[in-house]
Structure 1
Amino acid sequence: MSTSTVRCQAIGSLLRPGHLVSARAEFKAGRITPAEVKAAEDRAAVEALRLQEAAGLDVVNDGEMRRSSFMDHLLATVPGALDHEAPIEAGDEAGGAYTVDNPIVVVERITPARNIGVEEYVYLRGRTDRPIKITMPSPLMLYAFWSAERSRAAYPDPFDLFADWTALLRAQIEELAALGCTRVQIDAPDMALLVDEEQRRQREALGISVDRTIADGCALIDSLAATPGVSVSLHLCKGNFRSMWAASGGYDLLAKQIFDRTPHVDAYLLEYDDERSGDFAPLTALPDDKSVVLGLVSTKRDEVEPLDALLARVGDAARYVGRDRIGVSPQCGFASIAAGANLISPATQAAKLFRVAELAAAL
């Protein structure tokens, strides 16, 4: 299946089922073994796969059931390089609380670590005949871990840190490709948040240039997309935690710059679930050989969008880019951070995935 024929897909994370939430709580309390919590992850991954297949999605993943965050590829790499402040309390999906380390800054060079995508891909590979994608965080997500005062001994320039992470991520993608994985999605809230003026101001206050973030960031992402044999898509996310968002603004500032500077990216997955995303006019800059996946179905609202309203929105988008290059999806994951799952029910989640496939079929 070529990129151009992928009409419907989920973005990444799905709500973790109750049995998995309970198993992780039991494991943390020391009442079950690592093998038992792993079995719960296996069961949840298959359930996520079967839901996507039943809905009729073209591309599937494991719902990120083995992760606590969409950034686990990153977090598995940098812990030894981080300095922490006092632990903080966070809420979990079961309504309880747990203690987490609060990472402050990178203080040492980052080093290679376990490639969690390998387990995700290999486990699904023998259980479905549909294309499988593995999601990974953008290399620039480390911007939140760099400090002008405390990181300079290891990384005088934050973009040296981003380049190191890019090299590690490229090695992970190459390892996946060697196993037969042909689809990778890069999740880039680091780029998408820049649509918001306040987010741009905050980034500059960190000592990280917005202009350089776009220019150098696109170059780093494109170097990942150039991995032979792998189709790479780029998801621009504007925040996703307990049905809340972090940025508001259209793609006018970013679209052409990102499209032009990432020639090896095959498809762009864009949030378009409400007025925060602006209109579809920026899609006129989409190169002729690229496709766009419109995130029209919200993962934040516990209501299923009417099919006719979604079709009308696709019609609006088709004024700027051909229908043959339009795919559809939810706007983001349903639980990008497990403890910050969006406030919708599993039944609504399933109905929304079915609606995405129904919309694609209606096109």
Structure 2
Amino acid sequence: MVYHSEVIGSLLRPPYLHQARQQLEAGAISAAEFKAIEDRAVDEAIALQEEAGIEVITDGEQRRYAFFGHLIEALDGFDKYGGWAIPFRDESGEELVMRRPVVVDRLRWRRNMCSEEWVYLRARKKHAGKVTMISAQQAAAYYDPEKSKGAYPTLDAYLADIVDISRREVEELIRLGCTYIQIDAPQYAALLDPQIREGYRQRGNDPEKLIDRCIELDNAIIDGHPGITFGIHICRGNNQSKFYASGDYGPIARIFQKTHFQRFLLEYDDERSGGFEPLRYMPEDRFVVLGLVTTKKPQLESRDELRRRIEEATRYIPLERLALSPQCGFASTIEGNRLSLEDQRRKLELVASVAHEVWG
């Protein structure tokens, strides 16, 4: 089946879900009561996407505190907020700092990462569905040479466990009937941004070797599953309408050729993303989902401009191998981006309607 419209993953959390999570943490409601409220939020997320006309939907990541929450909350061994901080910024120069998790003990399986999300979505969706997971390279950001060395003496030892755990999760999702799994890999943005690449070099890390290593890790997780669609999402950071990297896909374009993903969901909503030229490296059997609609700002894109940019991309990829999506999730972290639920609805409807006009 060919799909020409989809979301990336997360949707804004409704206010009542924020309140319920606070009540759960305060002991004011039970876990069972919270689950009923969480289910309601997922039901509404599914209905929103289907009513908008989106072809491939998610559960909106309503059960996660962040896009990586499935990993952190399913395994013992992480300090949830003890990792190194990463600065996000916007065009005005406003910044915020997000504390990352850090691994401090050997990872121990507590529960499946995504099975609850998929089984619930599977039972309620009318359209095609997918599950999102983070890449091993993203999980690598949660290793600190000092704080983690008691659990894992090397980064490679930690990543070996991450790959094993991720492969088991993929196998379980497939057993449960999931046929489309998306790997979120925003850490690739650190390897396309010229300033961040130079920072790697100054710390003794060769960005080119890191790219090859990340490709190897990605393939290790997804290989050996014929008939399953694997997508990879690459953006330049997304946290409360802020980003952390800029630059086109040129420096990492070999991931198009050397990874085994069938769909590449790419951020293309503004000048920070560069042009479509790196898409010329895309093999002829791959599909590109153009993230042309921003989730960071409430302003609605021009329908004609979206059609023009899709046409521009056909200089490098045939129209039948293109699709349309937002450039990232609406709420990669639980706080969400700076737009309203109504803004979100209008953007999803725009994605679906333009896709219908272009591809039928």
TM-score, normalized by length of structure 2? 0.90
Aligned residues of 2:10 and 2:60 also touching (Cα < 8 A): yes
Relative to structure 1, the CA distance from residue 220 to residue 34 in structure 2 (aligned partners, 3 Å threshold; closer, same or farther) is same
> 3-state DSSP class of the match of 1:351?
helix
> 3-state DSSP class of the match of 2:133?
strand
Structure 2: 5+ residue stretches without partners = 86-97
Partner of residue 175, structure 1: 172
Aligned AA for 1:362?
A: E
> 3-state DSSP class of the match of 1:253?
helix
Partner of residue 305, structure 1: 301
Q: Once superposed, what is the RMSD of the aligned Cα atoms?
A: 2.1
2:353 maps to 1:355:
no
Query: What is the CA-CA distance between 1:207 and the residue it aligns to?
Result: 5.8
- CA–CA separation in structure 2 for the residues paired with 1:56 and 1:104: 36
Answer with 125-134 or 267-276: which moved more. 125-134
- CA–CA separation in structure 2 for the residues paired with 1:136 and 1:61: 12
> 3-state DSSP class of the match of 2:183?
strand
Query: What is the CA-CA distance between 1:84 and the residue it aligns to?
Result: 7.0
- CA–CA separation in structure 2 for the residues paired with 1:102 and 1:275: 27
Partner of residue 254, structure 1: 252
Partner of residue 63, structure 2: 66
Among 180, 183, 192, the alignment partner of 2:189 is: 192
TM-score, normalized by length of structure 1? 0.89
Partner of residue 90, structure 2: none
Relative to structure 1, the CA distance from residue 244 to residue 75 in structure 2 (aligned partners, 3 Å threshold; closer, same or farther) is same
Structure 1: 5+ residue stretches without partners = 89-100
Partner of residue 291, structure 1: 287
Relative to structure 1, the CA distance from residue 109 to residue 26 in structure 2 (aligned partners, 3 Å threshold; closer, same or farther) is closer
Relative to structure 1, the CA distance from residue 33 to residue 310 in structure 2 (aligned partners, 3 Å threshold; closer, same or farther) is same
Relative to structure 1, the CA distance from residue 83 to residue 114 in structure 2 (aligned partners, 3 Å threshold; closer, same or farther) is closer
Aligned AA for 1:290?
A: R
Aligned residues of 2:235 and 2:267 also touching (Cα < 8 A): yes
Runs of 4+, deviation exceeding 6 Å: none
Aligned residues of 1:61 and 1:133 also touching (Cα < 8 A): yes
Partner of residue 266, structure 2: 270
Aligned residues of 1:158 and 1:208 also touching (Cα < 8 A): no
Aligned residues of 1:15 and 1:334 also touching (Cα < 8 A): yes
> What does the per-residue CA deviation read over 1:27-63, in whole Å, with 9 as the maximum and x for residues that have no partner?
2222211111111110000100011101111111100
Partner of residue 320, structure 1: 316
Relative to structure 1, the CA distance from residue 342 to residue 81 in structure 2 (aligned partners, 3 Å threshold; closer, same or farther) is closer
- CA–CA separation in structure 1 for the residues paired with 2:334 and 2:220: 29
Partner of residue 41, structure 1: 38
Aligned AA for 1:360?
A: A
- CA–CA separation in structure 2 for the residues paired with 1:83 and 1:126: 31
Aligned residues of 1:272 and 1:296 also touching (Cα < 8 A): yes
> 3-state DSSP class of the match of 1:300?
coil
- CA–CA separation in structure 2 for the residues paired with 1:357 and 1:178: 30
Aligned residues of 2:76 and 2:110 also touching (Cα < 8 A): no
Aligned residues of 1:9 and 1:57 also touching (Cα < 8 A): yes
> What does the per-residue CA deviation read over 1:285-306, in whole Å, with 9 as the maximum and x for residues that have no partner?
1100000000000000111101
- Percent same amino acid among aligned pairs? 42
Aligned residues of 1:174 and 1:227 also touching (Cα < 8 A): no
Query: What is the CA-CA distance between 1:142 and the residue it aligns to?
Result: 2.6
2:16 maps to 1:14:
no
Partner of residue 92, structure 2: none
- CA–CA separation in structure 2 for the residues paired with 1:207 and 1:132: 42
- CA–CA separation in structure 2 for the residues paired with 1:102 and 1:251: 27
Query: What is the CA-CA distance between 1:144 and the residue it aligns to?
Result: 2.4
- CA–CA separation in structure 1 for the residues paired with 2:156 and 2:279: 29
Aligned residues of 2:71 and 2:113 also touching (Cα < 8 A): no
> What does the per-residue CA deviation read over 1:212-262, in whole Å, with 9 as the maximum and x for residues that have no partner?
32101111112222241421100002110111111000011112x101211
Aligned residues of 2:189 and 2:236 also touching (Cα < 8 A): yes
- CA–CA separation in structure 1 for the residues paired with 2:67 and 2:54: 20
2:152 maps to 1:161:
no
